[in-house]
Amino acid sequence: MSGGAKAYFKAIHAIVWKDLSAELRSRELLSSMLVFALLVILIFNFALDLDIKIRSTMTAGVLWATFAFAGTLGLNRSLALEKDRGCLDGLLLAPVDRSVIYFGKAISNLVFMLLVEAIVLPVYNFLYNVNLFHWGFLVTLLLGSLGYVIVGTLLASMAVQTRTRDILLPILLFPVIIPVLISALKASNGFLQGLAVADILPWINILIVYDLIFAAISFVAFDYVVEE
């Protein structure tokens, strides 16, 4: 690995390490995401019919709605913490390519989202009596979450510069992530209903393509989003 590439990955690692260490101390971000997610699935548990068949068809929808809304809390908080004490300027002053900051923040957000999902899934399993530990479903969860944070981190960096960031992020984010949510929902439902992999594959392919395209767009656009 060349010196430049090594410094690039070292800086990404530094941002992820910093975010995880700070979160380990404050637990502000994870606790708010987690409490929200658990409350949503608890409310759905009482609201939905007790019929096991109906419940299993609703699973993907309930879970993705929960993760999408809990995710906006995390994205907002993650960038707001940088902005409020001027730390975003501290990051922007570092002599690294600005995409380092984007990828560092996106990886941290992905870790937080996956941690919340890792806690929510067993709870959902227990409350709804639906087995979620299927490799296909878990891969879909990973690809969907990846697409969500790739777009979410970019838009949160944009929204955090405004006074109405809390309102602006969902308004910007949800129209853009509709392809992710629909594909993830369809693929998750397919795996949980036991459909053939060939029937689900087009949705997985859409997720992969979406993730790649938006990662490339974010790589190019982040510099312009954060600069005055």
The distance of closest approach from Cβ of residue 80 to another protein in the complex, given in angstroms and rounded to an integer, is: 13
| Dist CA 90 CA 183 (whole Å) | 37
- Indicate which single residue of 43, 90, 209, 213 sits in contact with another protein (rule: CB under 8 A): 90
Residues 169-208, one symbol each (x = binds another protein by CB under 8 A, - = not), give ----------------------------------------
Helix (H, G, I), strand (E, B) or coil at 50: coil
- Give the range of 13-21, 35-43, 120-128, 156-164 binding another protein by CB under 8 A: 13-21
- Give the range of 39-47, 79-87, 159-167, 196-204 binding another protein by CB under 8 A: 79-87
Answer yes or no whether residue 106 interacts with another protein by CB under 8 A. Answer: no
Binding residues for another protein, rule CB under 8 A, total: 27
List helix spans (H) across the chain. Answer: 3-26, 28-47, 52-84, 87-92, 98-128, 135-159, 165-176, 178-193, 197-226
Q: Are 80 and 165 spatial neighbours (Cβ–Cβ below 8 Å)? A: yes
Q: Residue 225: how many CB atoms within 10 A of its CB?
A: 17
Compute CA 113 distance to the chain's CA centroid, rounded to the nearest angstrom. Answer: 5
Answer yes or no whether residue 227 interacts with another protein by CB under 8 A. Answer: yes
> Closer to another protein at the Cβ: 51 or 228?
228
| Dist CA 75 CA 113 (whole Å) | 9
> Closer to another protein at the Cβ: 94 or 209?
94
